[in-house]
Amino acid sequence: MELVEAIEKRASVRGFTEEEVPEQLVSEMLRLGMLAPSAGNLQARDFIVVRERDVKSKLSKAAFGQEFVESAPVVVVCCANLARIRNYGVRGTDLYCLQDVAASAENMLLYVASQGYGSCWVGAFDETQVVKALGLPENVRPVIILPVGRPKEVPRKAPHLKMEAVVHREKW
């Protein structure tokens, strides 16, 4: 699949079949996520791969009851590693590491879509509950939860604003 096709095909998937996600796909997804750009190439991001039902259940509860998190065969929690970005000061810990994680997540979402799997960017969750569920150290902040699996149905593409509504040239 060409890059443009993968970008156009990617959509949020919130319903998954019970088919397992092969470890090879998860490994490649993570490898491609790690190739995303990062501030100063410090790669201030870490990933937790979750397959255990009880941990996924805790993540689903932390995500305000979004049940599809638990029903996905695999969940990848994308985290900012604040220790790796500290030399950039407050801007590094408040912004750059979040950008690093976001770039990685997008690479992973595109790869998953290109392979016929689906995912959904979940940013609505209680961080404290996720930290507890995963036993994260103090310097690691959960940023994005990515449930991954085969879509139960063809995902519906969300409408997008027209380019002229969001693109400004030279100034606002």
| Radius of gyration of the chain measured on its C-alpha atoms | 17
CATH architecture of 3-152: 3-Layer(aba) Sandwich (3.40)
Instruction: Give pLDDT, residue 1.
Output: 60
pTM higher than 0.85: yes
Instruction: Give pLDDT, residue 141.
Output: 98
Q: Domain residues of the chain, as ranges?
A: 3-152
Give percent of the chain with pLDDT exceeding 90: 92
Instruction: Give pLDDT, residue 157.
Output: 83
3-state secondary structure of 87: helix
The DSSP code for 22 is P
* Structural element, H or E, at residue 50: strand 45-50
pLDDT digits (tens, 9 = 90+) for 95-144: 999 999 999 999 999 999 999 999 999 999 999 999 999 999 999 999 99
Instruction: Give pLDDT, residue 43.
Output: 97
pLDDT digits (tens, 9 = 90+) for 43-93: 999 999 999 999 999 999 999 999 999 999 999 999 999 999 999 999 999
Whole-number Å distance between alpha carbons of 7 and 27:
20
**156 pLDDT higher than 90:** no
